[in-house]
């Protein structure tokens, strides 16, 4: 099975609906819907999960640095 832009792309109604729901729950945070690049699930599931995790962590750090949002402000917004 393949997934990517056509599954949950930027112009997908589900993606936008989810972004709006999360945005309303975290009003102090700019929420972006970013789609994991097209992939094929083959082989070991743990390896696939590891690749996703690495992509997610890298992207989270990059966006945090670009927006200069501290982790403490993210944490307090989520917990309040």
Average pLDDT estimate for 72-80: 52
Tell me the pLDDT tens digit for each residue of 13-52. Answer: 788 888 899 999 998 888 888 877 766 667 788 888 888 8
Does this model's pTM top 0.85? no
pLDDT at position 7: 59
Q: Which of 6, 34, 38 is nearest to 19 (CA)?
A: 34
Report the half-sphere exposure of 23 (CA within 13 A, side-chain side). 10
Annotated domain spans of the chain: 2-75
């Amino acid at each position: 099975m393949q997934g990517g832009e056509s599954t949950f792309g930027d112009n997908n109604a589900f993606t936008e609906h989810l972004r709006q729901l999360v945005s309303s729950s975290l009003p102090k945070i700019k929420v972006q819907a970013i789609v994991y690049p097209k992939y094929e699930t083959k082989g070991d599931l743990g390896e696939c999960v590891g690749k996703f995790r690495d992509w997610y962590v890298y992207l989270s750090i990059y966006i945090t640095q670009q927006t200069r949002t501290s982790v403490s402000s993210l944490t307090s917004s989520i917990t309040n």
